[in-house]
Amino acid sequence: MTDADPTTILQNLRGSIDNIDAALIFLLAERFRCTKQVGVLKAKHGMPASDPAREEQQIARLMRLAEDADLDPAFAEKWFNFVVAEVIRHHRSAAAHPTD
């Protein structure tokens, strides 16, 4: 470990955290752009907003990835469920208000 000033180290770490947070926001925005297209497609073809089998597959996949990344798999599942709930809300809205 270095003898660097703890305040400087803290500022550097916080800068990294801020950059990661920004990247996460942009990645989530891109994810929602894709899921919006899925919602429109589902609405257009009368498909259900939710796909429980797909969601279970994704949870299992993300939990494995979380383990590989040394991230709490339960946290990864909570995050996924939170995001999917918002996606389903968007899909239901698309079905209720279809546009061409």
CATH number at residue 90: 1.20.59.10
Q: State which residues form the domain around 83.
A: 6-96
95 band by pLDDT with thresholds 50, 70 and 90: confident
Does residue 89 lie within any of the structural domains?
Answer: yes
> pLDDT tens digits for 2-31?
678 999 999 999 999 999 999 999 999 999
> pLDDT tens digits for 31-90?
999 999 999 999 899 999 899 999 999 999 999 999 999 999 999 999 999 999 999 998
43/77 Cα distance (integer angstroms): 26
93 band by pLDDT with thresholds 50, 70 and 90: confident
Contacts of 96 (CB under 8 A, 6+ apart): none
Q: Which amino acid is at 26?
A: F
Is the whole-model pTM more than 0.85?
Answer: no
Does residue 1 lie within any of the structural domains?
Answer: no
How many domains does the chain divide into?
Answer: 1
